[in-house]
């Protein structure tokens, strides 16, 4: 389907369509989750929130605008990959393309594991090389991320992240619908979970090989230049081999399971935490000016960046 679209519309129109579809996906997946757990928090869900506080509407606006800024660069490689199918430079195909269902399953795992290793490596580079840290550090403004922070990166960072969508079809035969579906739902969906800011009951923070939202919150709170920590996406293996993991005994671990076991995250604590009014996010004037209406003037401004997971 996507290959036929590129053949009919050309590179630039395909690029715009993919960017528009990406924005729609973000609004649905990130927006609905944000509205449930941030605009309408409950005590039970707050008990599993990584950072016990809630970001201001101004910070959420900044997240969403930075997310939109990265869409064009993130969708360039996918559009070029589709264009190259028609030009004959790519090994990609539509349908089964003469391959078996078993080969489709095989390529899915190649995409999944190979992309996860690539994600860890390029992300780690953003914390070990000064030049790449300059491209990546804007993402770490969001020390208390929401689901809108998934691709809230600068242009170069997002372009580098999307390179596998271009490289994989050049290196091996791959079904383009499978490739795009894997990235659009599987990877973006897991990215929403990692930036959700809340922990699930399973997998919890102590799972031996899966990165959870807790590990990614630790990454946002503690990882800096020359201090990579949990730069992986799905799997802990890469960071475990590199020695860039956060570990703490149960008596000091900040995850929800350990905090609840110590009798923390009480109703009194929840009641004392300010709950920002996110209604300004529904007003076009707020997105244009960055200033809430006068009746919302009590809303807090973005806070400084404390080392939340210290």
pLDDT tens digit sequence for 91-111: 988 777 788 999 999 999 999
Give the tens place of pLDDT for each residue, 20-32: 988 998 889 999 9
pLDDT at 187 over 50: yes
pLDDT (average), residues 274-291: 91
Q: State the alpha helices, DSSP H only, in the chain.
A: 2-9, 11-26, 32-34, 43-46, 57-69, 71-87, 101-128, 130-136, 155-171, 176-181, 188-194, 213-222, 237-242, 256-261, 267-272, 284-289
pLDDT at 6 over 70: no
pLDDT (average), residues 188-196: 94
pLDDT (average), residues 252-269: 95
pLDDT at 304 over 80: no
Give the tens place of pLDDT for each residue, 224-256: 999 999 999 999 999 999 999 998 999 999 999
What's residue 257's pLDDT? 92
DSSP state of 299: S
Q: What is the pTM of this model?
A: 0.88
pLDDT at 216 over 60: yes
Residues present in the chain in total: 310
Of 157-161, 205-209, 236-240, 260-264, which range is least confident? 157-161
SS3 category, 132: helix
- The CA distance from 64 to 78, in Å, is 22
293: confidence class by pLDDT, cuts 50, 70, 90: low
Residue 198 pairs in a beta bridge with 49
What's residue 3's pLDDT? 66
């Amino acid at each position: 389907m996507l290959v036929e679209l590129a053949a009919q519309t050309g590179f630039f129109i395909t690029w715009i369509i993919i960017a528009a579809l990406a924005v729609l996906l973000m609004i649905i997946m990130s927006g609905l989750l944000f509205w449930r757990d941030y605009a309408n928090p409950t005590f039970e869900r707050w008990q599993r929130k990584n950072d016990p506080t809630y970001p201001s509407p101004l910070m959420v606006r900044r997240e969403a605008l930075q997310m939109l800024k990265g869409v064009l660069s993130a969708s360039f490689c996918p559009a070029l990959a589709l264009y190259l199918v028609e030009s004959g430079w790519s090994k990609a195909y539509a349908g089964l393309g003469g391959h078996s269902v078993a080969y489709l399953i095989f390529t899915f795992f190649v995409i999944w594991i190979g992309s996860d290793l690539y994600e860890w490596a390029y992300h780690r580079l953003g914390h070990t090389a000064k030049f790449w840290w300059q491209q990546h550090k804007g993402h770490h403004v969001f020390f208390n991320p929401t689901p809108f922070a998934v691709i809230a990166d600068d242009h170069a960072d997002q372009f580098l992240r999307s390179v596998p969508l271009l490289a994989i079809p050049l290196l091996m035969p791959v079904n383009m619908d499978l490739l795009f579906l894997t990235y659009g739902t599987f990877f973006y969906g897991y990215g929403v979970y990692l930036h959700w800011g809340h922990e699930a009951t399973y997998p919890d923070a102590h799972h031996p090989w899966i990165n959870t939202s807790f590990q990614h919150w630790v990454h946002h709170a503690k990882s800096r230049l020359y201090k990579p920590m949990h730069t992986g996406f799905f799997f802990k293996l890469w960071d475990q081999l590199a020695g860039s993991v956060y570990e703490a005994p149960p008596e000091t671990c900040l995850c929800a399971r350990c905090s609840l076991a110590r009798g923390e995250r009480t109703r009194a604590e929840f009641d004392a935490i300010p709950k920002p009014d996110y209604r300004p996010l529904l007003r076009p004037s707020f997105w244009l000016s960055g200033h809430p209406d006068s009746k919302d003037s009590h809303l807090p401004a973005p806070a400084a960046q404390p080392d939340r997971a210290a």
